[in-house]
Structure 1
Amino acid sequence: MSGWTASDIPDLHGRRAIVTGANSGIGYHTALQLARRGAAVVLACRSAERGQTAFDRIRAAAPGADLTLGALDLADLASVRAFASRYGDAPLDILVNNAGVMALPRRTTADGFEMQFGTNHLGHFALTGLLLPALRGAASARVVTVTSGAAWSGRFRFDDLQGERRYSKWGAYGQAKLANLVFARELDRRVPELTSVAAHPGYAATNLQEAGPKMAGNAVMQKAMGVANAVVAQPAAAGALPSLYAAVAPDVEGGACYGPRLLQFRGSPIKVVTPPHAAKPGLGDRLWQISESLTGITYTPTPA
């Protein structure tokens, strides 16, 4: 059994999509395949130069693709607001919350949040909330939030979410990826007129693994990560399949998570088991209230 592949993506003409972090890795391949099947895709990228490179590559691979390049820095809520304002209220069928950072030395966002929690979770929480009118304007919108196997080890330190008293780069990453998973589930519960799901790529070769060691000036670890990507990881194109499946497959279940078939490590996408502590009663509500307070973004109630 070969499993689901990009060739199984249905025709997407007439549908609009936004992919954050579309300039490289999982995000690039997600945007590429959506564009190939006819979707109008916004490449939401922090770097204008890298975004333009991705734009040109996709246009070359899919001539005639309906593409727009949008500036979005998830580590700056002013940038998130500006991006959402530029997009407007045009119906949005697919939002892929993909961009992220991993295992960085402690840094803060423009708004003073710990960089991993602020970028991976709070930035996407704010973006989704601001785009909610556009999502509600589509007939059957999907929101896909990319998490990671690191969510299994993640725990919320609600007394020190920003890692101000004690910081572990991997602990902060696990917390942020757990937040992605809990957010996807809670969004599906709170906004029933759209389908919210999580996805994770397994171990896929992207520049994400090398970014942290590079920022820390650890050349040995950076090289080791590069070797692991080349020898062990599956290609980024394969790592994008769970996100694509979650975005377009007809049998996707709201609140579920989709990842690789083989030990959640590699292979074709399927619905996967998630860490039990992600479903702890009241956890989603607590994270939601904190996220609204920190970002100043309040989701409007579902219309009666």
Structure 2
Amino acid sequence: MITSGLDPYTDASVVVAGKDLSGQTAIVTGGATGIGIETVKALAGAGADVVIAVRKRDLGEAAAKEVNAAMGAERASVGMVDLADLSSVKAFTAAWGGKPLNMLINNAGVMACPLSYTADDLEMQLGTNHFGHFALGVGLAGALRNGAKAGRAARLVSLSSIGHLRSAMNFEDPHYRSRDYDKWAAYGQSKTANALFAVGFDKRLASQGVNANSVMPCGIFTPLQRHLPHEEQVAMGWYDAEGKPAVGFKTPAQGASTSVWAAVGDELEGVGGLYLENLAEAGPYQPGNRFGVAPHALDTEAAERLWRLSEETTGVSL
């Protein structure tokens, strides 16, 4: 098992301590809030140029201003992309072209929303969390190849979740056309897809100097919970009776640490297709635990089936 050797509650800034990322470029989707902006701060703090990829310009510009002020340098900029609209993703990747990219952190996401559909008539959670990021990652594959350097691979980081335990991929009806909608099963399916995407991406790009891993950031209170009433979060045990976060939840800076490690950790050089959590490679899920990865999230046959479906759905391929 690969590990960083760091405590699971380490801040992201500690993960990059002593590293010089000058001359490297990263894109962080959803990088304006939550663990996204903490990921941006850590990478920029180590010298990287970071593009905050968002759908709301005002949030992106505010985040970039905050980061640049803290760094005393212009290291963060804003890129506009709506992951729930494949035409927006296509425009973003076309504008980027082949400019070298060293790190792509697919951080943005939607969780437990009411049944709704993207601009391309895809179930919102799967459409945004997976298909949007699939189109982005594959569309930027050439840029990542160009970002790979001698002795240093470019990296794609796909944000998954322990929520993947709630559902494997349902290939018969992934978009809830005929089955009853369950917001948590839909979220789980999208998080399984995020893990399977890293498996498929790494298989195809590792030999070309690009690795991909998925990440479980652990429980953090961020705008991701926007669709969940406080009462529901209390009922799920996320808050105690006094309204305090349950033991085990992380701060956004701690929650970003595994994403940052996946992007820069020396222990992961040349390594891909893994599911990472708590600054280490995850072990198999054991019933009753809050950690671990289920076999369906790393299944190579499911990864191949999802890849084919994703190419057909998005019209994007390597």
Q: Do both share a fold (TM > 0.5)? A: yes
Specify the SS of the correspondent of 1:137.
helix
Alpha-carbon distance change, 230 to 127 in structure 1, aligned in 2, over 3 angstroms? farther
Distance in 1, matches of 2:281 and 2:230, equals: 37
What is the letter of the counterpart of residue 263 of structure 2? A
Preserved CA contact (<8 Å) 1:121 1:176 = yes
Residue 153 in structure 1 maps to residue 172 in structure 2: no
Distance in 2, matches of 1:75 and 1:81, equals: 12
Other-structure match for 2:276: 258
Which residue of the other structure, out of 214, 227, 236, is the alignment partner of 1:212? 227
Q: What TM-score does the superposition give when structure 2 sets the normalisation length?
A: 0.85
Distance in 1, matches of 2:89 and 2:28, equals: 13
Which residue of the other structure, out of 77, 84, 101, is the alignment partner of 1:75? 84
Query: 1:259: how far off?
Result: 1.0
Other-structure match for 2:110: 101
Other-structure match for 1:12: 21
Which residue of the other structure, out of 26, 29, 46, is the alignment partner of 1:37? 46
Distance in 1, matches of 2:155 and 2:6, equals: 25
Distance in 2, matches of 1:30 and 1:224, equals: 30
Query: 1:65: how far off?
Result: 3.6
1:24-43 deviation line (CA, Å, top 9, x unaligned): 01111001110111001000
Distance in 2, matches of 1:2 and 1:144, equals: 19
Moved more, 149-158 or 68-77: 149-158
Specify the SS of the correspondent of 1:251.
helix
1:260-293 deviation line (CA, Å, top 9, x unaligned): 2xxxxxxxx1111221122334111100000000
Unaligned runs of 5+ in 2: 284-292
Preserved CA contact (<8 Å) 2:47 2:75 = yes
Moved more, 270-279 or 193-202: 270-279
Specify the SS of the correspondent of 1:231.
coil
Alpha-carbon distance change, 14 to 160 in structure 1, aligned in 2, over 3 angstroms? same
Specify the SS of the correspondent of 1:91.
coil
Distance in 1, matches of 2:261 and 2:212, equals: 13
Distance in 2, matches of 1:186 and 1:44, equals: 23
Distance in 2, matches of 1:82 and 1:277, equals: 33
Query: 1:196: how far off?
Result: 0.5
Describe how 1:1-304 pairs up with structure 2 within 5 A.
3=7, 5=11, 6-9=13-16, 10-138=19-147, 139=149, 140-165=153-178, 166-192=180-206, 193=208, 194-209=210-225, 211-213=226-228, 218=229, 220-221=231-232, 227=239, 230-232=244-246, 233-252=249-268, 253-260=271-278, 269-273=279-283, 274-299=293-318
Alpha-carbon distance change, 281 to 41 in structure 1, aligned in 2, over 3 angstroms? closer
Moved more, 9-18 or 221-230: 221-230
Distance in 1, matches of 2:298 and 2:185, equals: 19
Specify the SS of the correspondent of 2:267.
coil
Distance in 2, matches of 1:251 and 1:219, equals: 39
Alpha-carbon distance change, 95 to 220 in structure 1, aligned in 2, over 3 angstroms? same
Alpha-carbon distance change, 2 to 297 in structure 1, aligned in 2, over 3 angstroms? closer
1:148-183 deviation line (CA, Å, top 9, x unaligned): 001122221111100122211000000000000011
Unaligned runs of 5+ in 1: 261-268, 300-304
Alpha-carbon distance change, 145 to 18 in structure 1, aligned in 2, over 3 angstroms? same
Q: How many residues align?
A: 286
Specify the SS of the correspondent of 2:266.
coil
What is the letter of the counterpart of residue 132 of structure 1? A
Query: 1:86: how far off?
Result: 2.1
Distance in 1, matches of 2:6 and 2:170, equals: 41
Alpha-carbon distance change, 230 to 92 in structure 1, aligned in 2, over 3 angstroms? farther
Alpha-carbon distance change, 187 to 281 in structure 1, aligned in 2, over 3 angstroms? closer
Alpha-carbon distance change, 275 to 69 in structure 1, aligned in 2, over 3 angstroms? same
Q: What TM-score does the superposition give when structure 1 sets the normalisation length?
A: 0.89
Distance in 2, matches of 1:235 and 1:97, equals: 19
Distance in 1, matches of 2:305 and 2:253, equals: 35
